[in-house]
Amino acid sequence: MNDGARFAGNLDTVDRPRPNGRPAWHSSAVGNPALHDRGGATYAALDLGTNNCRLLVARPAGEGFRVIDAFSRIVRLGEGVSASGRLSDAAMGRAVDALAVCRNKMRNRGVTRARLIATEACRMAENCDEFCSQVRERAGLELEIVDRETEAALAATGCTPLIDPDADGVILFDIGGGSSELVRLGRPQAARRGPPRPHIKSWASLPVGVVTLAERHGGVQVTRDLFEIMVEEIADHVGRFAAEHGNGIDGLHLLGTSGTVTTIAGVHLELPRYDRRRVDGCWMNDTEVTTVVERLMAMSYEDRAANPCIGTDRADLVLAGCAILEAIRRAFPCQRLRVADRGLREGILIDLMRSDGVWGQEVA
């Protein structure tokens, strides 16, 4: 697994290609522990998914890190790719524009160490190389296309701090735009310093996410019959994982990271606007989750779009996400769900800082 990326070159020249073809930030297996010794390390984690482009910039602080900048934009890079096998010109343009914003933020924050990953849309697209060339030329960034196992491991690393210490473990799920990951985690491995390490017992990646499911079945007008069809489609995938790894779940809880579960939490809390501080770490019981899903099912598309925790960007996707969640809940009938507004990016930051020795020899 590639352990990170590093800054290479003068940021003032980032807008034009370099003589050696190397962009401003690129995936690299070469770390630089001396950065921490100088006290000047600033880290960045970028996650370009099927639906979103997201960036976190952070510096080490205590036993974790402090976020100093962030960016998130829905770009729908994977729009139509499940049917055509290709990234559209419009989708690539939206993504490159968002990545250029990320580049500028990294430049302005003096990022010294970064990892820039892309996931399912790029894994699926036959013109992924063409897209990566556009990103390199127009945004000065080199994307690392990660496999599904890496994606699951990074999500686990980012979310492990939210596992209830009294639980035997969790079923972690990450509902993405083009794929969804399931991870069974045991109790975190003890750490003297720094965030706990995940104890991954098993994992699976489902070849479906909110974008692909909504494109296949529709996301604007979703009847109960259509919702059940979507649930049953996902249940076939989830059931295979549950059959092998779903035993002994009495001491487990669900841990969800995705726009779907954060939206459900925001609606449950009746937030006048989305507030990460209230959503991240929020607990919901089984009845509360069911109540919100029923409420969303009863809403029209216009009502969903008007909700401040959903908006027009997610109004046609949220019920597809709820269908994936429902299939997971049926396969793993845990009574509690913890919501995580964290995941891949936080996992990247933890891995980068740990590889640089930020927290020393933290494992007991």
Say if residues 81 and 211 touch (Cβ distance below 8 Å).
no
Report CA-CA distances (Å) from 37 to 8, 67, 332, 359.
19, 20, 45, 12
Do 24 and 108 lie in one domain? The reply is yes
What's the whole-number average pLDDT of the chain?
A: 89
Residue 363 has pLDDT above 50, yes or no: no
Q: What is the pLDDT of residues 203-223, one digit of tens each?
A: 999 999 999 999 999 999 999
CA dihedral 271→274→277→281, nearest 10 degrees, is 80
More confident: 224 or 21: 224
Do 138 and 195 lie in one domain? The reply is no
Do 35 and 171 lie in one domain? The reply is no
Q: Which domain holds residue 66?
A: 5-146
Do 277 and 187 lie in one domain? The reply is yes
Say if residues 336 and 284 touch (Cβ distance below 8 Å).
yes
Residue 195 has pLDDT above 80, yes or no: yes
Q: What pLDDT score was predicted for residue 125?
A: 97
- Which helix (H) or strand (E) covers residue 36, if one does? helix 34-38
- Give the chain's domain count: 2
Say if residues 56 and 115 touch (Cβ distance below 8 Å).
no
Strand order of the sheet with strand 283-285? 200-206, 180-186, 169-175, 252-257, 336-340, 283-285
More confident: 257 or 30: 257
Q: What is the pLDDT of residues 241-273, one digit of tens each?
A: 999 998 888 999 999 999 999 999 999 999 999
CATH of the domain at 210: 3.30.420.150
- Confidence tier at 25 by pLDDT (50, 70, 90): low
Q: What is the pTM of this model?
A: 0.88
DSSP summary character for residue 137: I
Residue 10 has pLDDT above 90, yes or no: no
Q: What pLDDT score was predicted for residue 120?
A: 95
Do 112 and 45 lie in one domain? The reply is yes
Q: What pLDDT score was predicted for residue 192?
A: 74
Nearest of 70, 68, 119 to residue 95 by alpha carbon: 119
Say if residues 118 and 48 touch (Cβ distance below 8 Å).
yes
Q: What is the pLDDT of residues 36-77, one digit of tens each?
A: 333 569 999 999 999 999 999 999 999 899 999 999 999 999
